[in-house]
Chains A and B, each alone.
Chain A
Amino acid sequence: MRLYLRSRRVPAALAGAVAGVAGLWTLWSVFSDSREVGVQLVVLTVLLSVIALTATLGGPDDELDRTAAFRWLPRRLAHLAAAFLVVVLPLLATLATGARFGPAWLVARDAAGLLGLTALGAAALGVGRAWFLPLGWTLAATLFPRSEPVLGRILTWQAQPRVSAAAAVTAGLLAVCGLLAYAVAGPARRAPAEAAQR
């Protein structure tokens, strides 16, 4: 277990995620007077945590990992579940402090959806490129949210308020698809010559 964590560079990722959340929490506490953190910053913090954990979805040699005797499916599921907890728990912890990153349902929904999207990207494009779509989509969605037509709510689901059903459904779909794709297929295969590089 310890070797698995080290091969995936989990300690560094954990440190990065927690440090990012802590840093943003400190920034908000120092520079703002209101107790509730703005929705934009909450979504971007969730994105930051997810991005910090992206690299753990693949190891240095995925082909070698694939030849292991045990089944990877439950382990990948557990990995994603653990990642979800790592993203959500620090933010939920801030709900008890003076700078509340909430609401809790928003955090959970966005974490699930973004993790699913990242896992989908890892399965389709490889771990190195898994952050392309989450970053671009979330940037556009948080800066220019649309709530009028249903399509607008679906396309900018990250920034929709807690009650939005369209956003919840979209996030759920992304989470489930990503979970399935990554658990079943694992990270995308790379050409052998390329895999020898970092």
Chain B
Amino acid sequence: MSRVLRIELRRSAALGSALILLAVGTLLLFFVDRSVFTTGWMQLAMTQRLYLAVLWPLALAAGAWQGRREHRTNVTELFASTPRSRAHRAVPTLLAMALAVVAGYLAMGIAGGAWIAGTARYLPASVFAVLAVGVLALVAAVWLGLAAGRLLPSPATAPALGLAGLGVLLLLPGATRPHGWLALVFSPIYEMNLPDAYTTVPGRASVAQAVWLAALAVTAVLLVVSGGWRLRVAALLPVVLGAAVAIAAMPRDNRYVIDAVDPVARELVCAHDDPRVCVSRVHAGLLAEVVPPARAALTVLAPLPSPPTQVHEDTTTYVPARYPPWHDDVVLLRVDAGSDGHLANRDLVLAEVVAGAFAGPADCDHLAGPDEKMAAAYWLIGRAPATPGAVALWQNLRQRPEGEARARVVALRRAALGCTVQDGQLTR
């Protein structure tokens, strides 16, 4: 059988399908919005799953195109006189198309991975679960396409099936409207867009999705090898069973994936020696880029009384609302990866750290406004800020004598830490 498998890999639609999936997937990854996946491996895996919106219908169409082969080439007469059963005969085709689709998807992941390999360090096990569900989805799609192409061998079946597949994917969230978790069971692209830095896909969700997709794949295989109506009706059984088990396994939270936060990804990882600069584990690859401007900023802040001595990443998540513990001597900095995988807004890190010295705890109501913080920060740095609002305040500060301006800046910091900032305090 391995000879025949090799022949099928070379001569069927397998090679073409793999290349098309790889090309389309890579184009989507790199031309739609690179910053979506450059944060880390989990974001890459989730974004790959999101682009299944295009790849899944294409896999359906590829399977239907291949499934039509026996009818298109008139070989049924010849093959009817051979001893090998239809099921046995279908195995190399099923294997070849599955291998092709898996290879295309994984190669797309490798292409994306090559882009972020330098800076993405955190690789949790759930990444592989997300990837596996994506792979299963494509295998189920191509096998379903094979079944459809065999059962409805018209030339219009392949593109129509692709469009129908897209229709199903797009309609699933709407059709299950109040129950978002149902859409999560059946749709491999649901809740996969714009992944947060600390996002994760809980194992239970992946398991439920995998069960459903595996049942779909089994049904597809049964339909491919079916000869009469009995087996075709029996093929409904795995689908129904799989749906039931998947629905039972999925928790009933409507925003299960969006609300999931990976605590390990949020843990702080710090650079050696003082002053301490820490980023979250998922951004650990960016630590080397954060440290120099952060330490320079701490040096700028050193003349202040009780200056901050550490810079930590701001691991606040808004959904669900979780805030890092507040310390007076720690400046919180927002760290993001840009579309090239490296630190975004590298030039602004210095100013942001200095401005962060004038921020207060999250549960505080009287905080300094962004313009005031920037004006104070740039006054300490000695340059002009960028935004017009901050520029006005900064010039106001500059016009005052040195001692008075310094006193105002120090007062702003004390007020921010004590949650007692008053409006326009800096320049009144």
Q: List 26 A-B contacts (CB under 8 A).
A: A31-B174, A40-B170, A48-B160, A51-B159, A51-B160, A51-B163, A52-B160, A54-B159, A55-B155, A55-B156, A127-B155, A128-B155, A131-B158, A135-B57, A135-B162, A136-B54, A139-B54, A139-B58, A140-B24, A140-B27, A143-B53, A143-B54, A144-B28, A146-B31, A146-B32, A197-B73
Residues of A within 8 Å of B174, CB to CB, are 31
The reply to whether A140 and B54 form a contact with Cβ atoms under 8 Å apart is yes
Q: Is B398 an interface residue (CB 8 A)?
A: no
- Is B72 on the interface with A (CB-CB < 8 A)? yes
Interface assignment of B2: CB less than 8 Å from any CB of chain A: no
A44 and B28 contact, Cβ closer than 8 Å, known pairs A16-B156, A55-B156, A198-B74 = no
Q: Which A residue sits closest to B58, measured CB to CB?
A: A136
> Which of B28, B72, B73, B159 has the most chain A CB atoms inside 10 A of its CB?
B159
A residues near B28, Cβ cutoff 8 Å: 140, 144
Chain B CB count within 10 A is highest, among A31, A44, A54, A136, for A136
In chain A, positions 29-63 with a C-beta closer than 8 Å to chain B are: 31, 40, 44, 47-48, 51-52, 54-55
A163 to chain B, nearest CB (A): 23
Known: A52-B160, A54-B159, A144-B28. 20 other contacts (CB 8 A): A31-B174, A44-B163, A44-B166, A51-B156, A51-B159, A55-B155, A135-B57, A135-B58, A135-B159, A136-B20, A136-B54, A139-B53, A139-B162, A140-B24, A140-B28, A140-B54, A143-B54, A197-B73, A198-B71, A198-B74
Select which of B24, B71, B72 is within 8 A of A136 by beta carbon: B24
How does the 8 Å CB contact mask read for B157-176 relative to A, with 1 for contact and 0 for none? 01110110011001000100
Count chain A residues whose beta carbon lies closer than 8 angstroms to a beta carbon of B.
25
- Let me know if B27 and A47 touch, CB within 8 A: no
The CA-CA distance from A132 to B17 in the complex, in Å, is 11
Residue of B at shortest CB range from A40? B170
CB of A155 closer than 8 Å to a CB of B: yes
Specify which chain A residues have a CB less than 8 angstroms from the CB of B27 in the assembled complex: 140
> Does B182 touch A at the CB level, under 8 Å?
no
CA distance A44 to B22 in the complex (A): 23
Q: Which of B31, B53, B163, B170 contacts A135 (CB 8 A)?
A: B163
Q: Are A144 and B163 in contact (CB under 8 A)?
A: no
List chain A residues, Cβ under 8 A from B159. 51, 54, 131, 135
- Mark out the residues of chain B between 52 and 86 whose CB falls within 8 Å of any chain A CB in the assembled complex: 53-54, 57-58, 61, 71-74
Which of A40, A55, A128, A139 is B57 in contact with, Cβ under 8 Å? Answer: A139
Please tell me if the beta carbons of A47 and B74 are within 8 angstroms of each other in the complex. no
Query: Which of A127, A140, A146 has the most chain B CB within a 10 Å cutoff?
Result: A140
- Complexed CA–CA distance, A155 and B30 (Å): 13
Q: Would you give the 0/1 interface string for B126-158, flagging 1 where the beta carbon is closer than 8 Å to chain A?
A: 000000000000000000000000000001101
Chain B residues positioned under 8 Å from A155 (CB to CB):
31
Q: Distance in Å from the Cβ of A101 to the closest Cβ of chain B? A: 15
Is A48 a contact partner of B163 (Cβ separation < 8 A)? yes
Cα distance, A143 to B156, chains bound together (Å): 23
A106 to chain B, nearest CB (A): 18
Query: In the complex, which residues of chain A have a beta carbon less than 8 angstroms from the beta carbon of B167?
Result: 44
In angstroms, Cα B167 to Cα A132, docked, is 18
Point out the residues of chain A lying under 8 angstroms from B57, CB to CB.
135, 139
CB distance from B176 to the nearest CB of A (A): 13
Interface members, chain A 134-185 (any B CB < 8 Å): 135-136, 139-140, 143-144, 146, 152, 155
In the complex, residue of chain B having the shortest beta-carbon distance to the beta carbon of A53: B156
Measured in the bound complex, the distance between the Cα atoms of B158 and A31 in whole Å is 27
Q: Which residues of B contact A44 (CB under 8 A)?
A: 163, 166-167
Shortest beta-carbon distance, B366 to chain A, in Å?
A: 39
CA of A197 to CA of B72 in the docked complex: distance in angstroms?
6
Q: How far is the CA of A128 from the CA of B62 in the complex (A)?
A: 13
Contact among B54, B58, B156, B158 for A52, CB-based, below 8 A: B156
For the complex, what is the distance from the CA of A55 to the CA of B155, rounded to whole Å?
7
Q: Which residues of the partner chain A approach B53 to less than 8 Å between Cβ atoms?
A: 139, 143
Complex: A24 Cα to B24 Cα, angstroms: 27
How near does chain B come to A120, taking the closest CB pair, in angstroms? Answer: 16
Give the top 5 A-B pairs by smallest Cβ distance, nearest first. Answer: A131-B159, A51-B159, A144-B32, A139-B54, A140-B54
Find out whether the CB atom of B166 lies under 8 angstroms from the CB atom of A139.
Answer: yes
Q: How far is the CA of A10 from the CA of B104 in the complex (A)?
A: 36
Q: Mark B7-23, 1 if CB is under 8 A from A, else 0.
A: 00000000000001000
Residues of B close to A136: CB separation below 8 A: 20, 24, 54, 58
| Chain B residues within 8 Å of A140, by CB | 24, 27-28, 54
Closest CB in chain A relative to B167 CB, distance in Å: 8
Find chain A residues with CB under 8 A from B170 CB. Answer: 40
Distance of B301 from chain A, by nearest CB (Å): 38
Those of A1-29 within 8 Å (CB) of chain B:
16
The docked-state distance in angstroms from the alpha carbon of A132 to that of B61 is 9
How far, in angstroms, from A135 to B155 measured CA to CA in the complex?
14
Shortest Cβ distance from B75 into A: residue: A197
- Residues in A with CB closer than 8 Å to B73 are 197
Q: Nearest CB to that of A51 among chain B residues?
A: B159
Please report the C-alpha to C-alpha distance between residue A16 and residue B27 in the assembled complex, in whole angstroms: 32
Q: From residue B137, how far is it (CB to closest CB) to chain A in Å?
A: 16
Report Cα–Cα, A47/B164, bound state, in Å: 12
| A135 in contact with B156 (CB, 8 Å) | no
Closest Cβ neighbor of A44 among chain B residues: B163
Chain A residues contacting B54 (CB-CB under 8 Å) are 136, 139-140, 143-144
